Structure 1
Amino acid sequence: MGVKLSILLCFIVATGTLSVVSHEIDWLANPAKRVAPSTVSDMNWQAVYVQALNETAKLATPVRKIESIHAPLHPWFSAEVIYRDKDSLRHRLFFHPTTGEYLGDGRWLNWQRFFRVTHRHLMLPLTLGITIVSAFSIAILALLISSLYIYRHWWKGFFRKPRWRHRQTRWGDFHRIVGVWSLWFLLVIGLTGSWYLAERWGAAAPSTDKGYAVTDDAINEPVMPTQTSLNTMLHIARVQFPALSIEEVRFPNKAGGVVAFQGQASAILVRNRANTIQFDPVSAEAVFKQDGSDFSLHTRVSEAADPLHFGVWGEVQGNTAKLLSKLLYFIFGVFLTGLCITGTYMYGLQVGRKGKSISSKSSPMKNARLTVKSLPNTPFRTWQAALQKVGWVAWFFTSAVITCLGYGAYIYLPFGG
């Protein structure tokens, strides 16, 4: 089963691995996302908000509204503002998190979005794409369980020295040692991916975000707060929810909408939206407060899926722990991608051994031509033998991957549409 699914499974795992560090890839690609950590003291929400209003007012394209402000992911990141234009298309602006200085802009369809949508649903319609990708998590769990049966006494393999005598033992030992060290990762990815599948088909936790505006103006249409109102909200948030470390501020996107401060508090393994305090955008009155530690078990399981799946569970401990947890996931994502490749290669070697065994039992003269064609005694022939066994599935999955990448290059990447 692993060989049959290897091409698409490898693609899904590889894009997931890059998704873990996709924000960092954007940081490398866009100078506007970078600041010197020595110049940053704290996140000045008021300064960034005021400068965002000023910059959007200067744009040639009419701005419909500012959608959200996001604190830096790391001390060397800038603050990010997302706004919508008159056509409801999203754009990004970047500001110094302490001074509010405008640093530049960026596309909504950046590297982070590219890897996210590619990994999450292969750029297919959401339900279809998420179902396909999440179903592979069941395959990962099946491969995990079967490997414990096939690799007898696997617990002895953590520190077993690989043998390098020839290709067969070299790749086999490498595959096994990486596999046993990756068992925990396979389990986490398999379980969280299976949960995404269950959520898509009816097991999703009920929504907990229930704040609504109370003033007439805000009820009738989405209203942006004034600078004074935002300052009042920040003060109330610090008093009423002192444990909240604000990571993002979201502004009303429809009539009756609120200004929501979201971030991390005492609850572990929850997304920023789990901890929030919300305000009427006109009166600055607090209308809703939510602490992730008060959630039901069902909701906590749902909230834990993303931090566990993408390795951002370290964010509650600070920027250093956040970066380390993501780096750990990236390394084991590379390992898992390598397991997909080496597993297929080992299968090709196995096919070659069978071909050699069959040939040796017959007359050498009668089967001379068969031996040359069937025995994959080079890396090329090894891959050829493995892919021949995959059959038409290989062509189908390869076509799907090429189509996905081609469409993504056209739509999402900077040189695209």
Structure 2
Amino acid sequence: MAKLSNRFWFQLHGWFSLPIWLIFCFVCITGTIAVVSHELTWLTNPAARATNPDNLTAKPIAELIAAVEQAYPTADVGSVMVLEPYLVNAVIFTDHDKPQAIAYVNQYTGEIQQVNQGITFIGFMRSLHGWLLFPWQSSYSIGYYLVSAMALVMLGALITGLIIYKSFWRSFTQPKIRFNQGKKTVLTDLHRLAGVWSIWFLIVMSATGLWYLVQAVMWHADIDIEPHAPLVAAAQLPATQQTPPVSFADAMQIAKQRFPDFQPSYLMLPEHNRGMYNLMGGGDHIFYDQYAYNLSINPWTGDIAQEKSPATMSALQTISHIADPLHYGTLGGIWTKAIWFLFGLLLSGMSITGFMIWGSRTVKAVRASRASTVLQEAHDGAK
């Protein structure tokens, strides 16, 4: 009975991954690359590097916007993305000959180093990993469901793997890889060793993936986790004045006064006369993402119409803002990214070695079945 039980768990462990092995492996590999997509951008695109040989302080973002507007007088700047200190700021704008463009502006020198009119490598990898580039239909994407459902596969593989591998904790103190006992033994030892040392990582990926699945269902059901940005009341619009008196620089100052540790990450300018400055950023909270703070500032009055911070978040909002740092390893900067990248490689390797182990067992079983059939036919013929 014990042998039957072990065989059952082994088969279940395989079936948790094998039917969708290619998707699972692809998601693991693209996620591993997405973790270091910012660093790969820095490495491969010199125009994206925020070089600062003179050790200058970063210029106010309002000056970077002004530099783009000076270079492109008819441009309409819509938003600004602030990335790592070693990457340029991305000023997103439209122009008469540019439906959408991203100006790479060095925040230390104020120089426009490149204008990109296509998808960036960072955006491409996040989209490829997040929803496999499947189209979004209204508020859902089949690709997003497929990717987030991999959390169930990962969790099932983890649980069944621990049941199969008796005394797995010995791999922490007595790791072994038997190189002299054949290819199958080496693959099995590598698979088990990587799995045991990745238990914590598998738990984190499964938990955050399950949240993404829940989040997808909520989006599909039109259940809002975050409130929509408010609009300026029509009664507050002046009858004659066309330009709002509160500038972008003023709005940034208001945000800093409200939250002294506010570190801007995504800043949206008003799209029309009833639009507001929607400023998002991070703070000193290590487990929250770079959008944990959110302020909507009225450009006509300077009032904060809506705000959000870790102190005022609901339970669902808190989960939403801690999921990404845990999933992508951004909570400790480049050092935790390196750790997540390493374990992402291990997870990708486990997917491949697991398939190879299953393949060798399957080939062996098929050969044994064929040999048995031949022997049976020979025996029947002898009669």
Q: Which residue of 2 aligns with 1:54?
A: 70
- Give the Cα separation in 1 of the matches to 2:204 and 2:243: 41
Work out whether residues 279 and 288 of structure 1, in 8 Å CA contact, stay in contact via their aligned partners in 2: yes
Letter in 2 for 1:206: I
- Give the Cα separation in 1 of the matches to 2:94 and 2:293: 25
- Give the Cα separation in 2 of the matches to 1:332 and 1:250: 35
Letter in 2 for 1:119: H
Work out whether residues 229 and 282 of structure 1, in 8 Å CA contact, stay in contact via their aligned partners in 2: no
Shift of 1:93: 0.4
- Give the Cα separation in 2 of the matches to 1:254 and 1:167: 65
Q: Which residue of 2 aligns with 1:302?
A: 320
Aligned CA distance change for structure 1 residues 336 and 11 (closer, same or farther; 3 Å): same
Work out whether residues 230 and 284 of structure 1, in 8 Å CA contact, stay in contact via their aligned partners in 2: no
Q: Which residue of 2 aligns with 1:177?
A: 193
Q: Which residue of 2 aligns with 1:257?
A: 275
Q: Which residue of 2 aligns with 1:346?
A: 357
The partner residue of 1:332 within 312, 326, 343 is: 343
Deviations 1:218-262 (Å, cap 9, x if unpaired)? 699xx8868x82332233322222121223322123552211332
Q: Which residue of 2 aligns with 1:238?
A: 256
Q: TM-score, length-normalised on structure 1?
A: 0.75
Q: Give secondary structure in 1 for the equivalent of 2:79.
A: strand
Shift of 1:157: 1.4
- Percent identity of paired positions between Structure 1 and Structure 2: 26
Aligned residues: 351
Q: Which residue of 1 aligns with 2:306?
A: 288
The partner residue of 1:208 within 222, 227, 230 is: 227
Deviations 1:355-387 (Å, cap 9, x if unpaired)? 5655777888x99xxxxxxxxxxxxxxxxxxxx
Q: TM-score, length-normalised on structure 2?
A: 0.82
- Give the Cα separation in 1 of the matches to 2:369 and 2:90: 64
- Give the Cα separation in 2 of the matches to 1:242 and 1:56: 33
Shift of 1:125: 2.6
Work out whether residues 59 and 110 of structure 2, in 8 Å CA contact, stay in contact via their aligned partners in 1: no
Letter in 1 for 2:313: F
The partner residue of 2:205 within 169, 189, 198 is: 189
- Give the Cα separation in 1 of the matches to 2:256 and 2:283: 12
Match status 1:114 vs 2:133: no
Letter in 2 for 1:208: P
Work out whether residues 265 and 291 of structure 2, in 8 Å CA contact, stay in contact via their aligned partners in 1: no
Match status 1:155 vs 2:169: yes
Work out whether residues 250 and 259 of structure 1, in 8 Å CA contact, stay in contact via their aligned partners in 2: yes
Aligned CA distance change for structure 1 residues 152 and 86 (closer, same or farther; 3 Å): farther
Q: Which residue of 1 aligns with 2:35?
A: 20
- Give the Cα separation in 1 of the matches to 2:196 and 2:80: 42
- Give the Cα separation in 1 of the matches to 2:272 and 2:238: 9
Higher fraction of helix: 1
Aligned CA distance change for structure 1 residues 72 and 200 (closer, same or farther; 3 Å): closer
Aligned CA distance change for structure 1 residues 258 and 198 (closer, same or farther; 3 Å): same
Letter in 2 for 1:292: P
**Mapping of 1:271-282 within 5 angstroms?**
271-282=289-300
Aligned CA distance change for structure 1 residues 205 and 152 (closer, same or farther; 3 Å): farther
- Give the Cα separation in 2 of the matches to 1:336 and 1:156: 20
Q: Give secondary structure in 1 for the equivalent of 2:362.
A: helix
Is the deviation greater in 263-272 or in 142-151? 263-272
Aligned CA distance change for structure 1 residues 86 and 199 (closer, same or farther; 3 Å): farther
Q: Which residue of 2 aligns with 1:6?
A: 21
Is the deviation greater in 350-359 or in 264-273? 350-359
Work out whether residues 68 and 248 of structure 1, in 8 Å CA contact, stay in contact via their aligned partners in 2: yes
Letter in 2 for 1:341: I
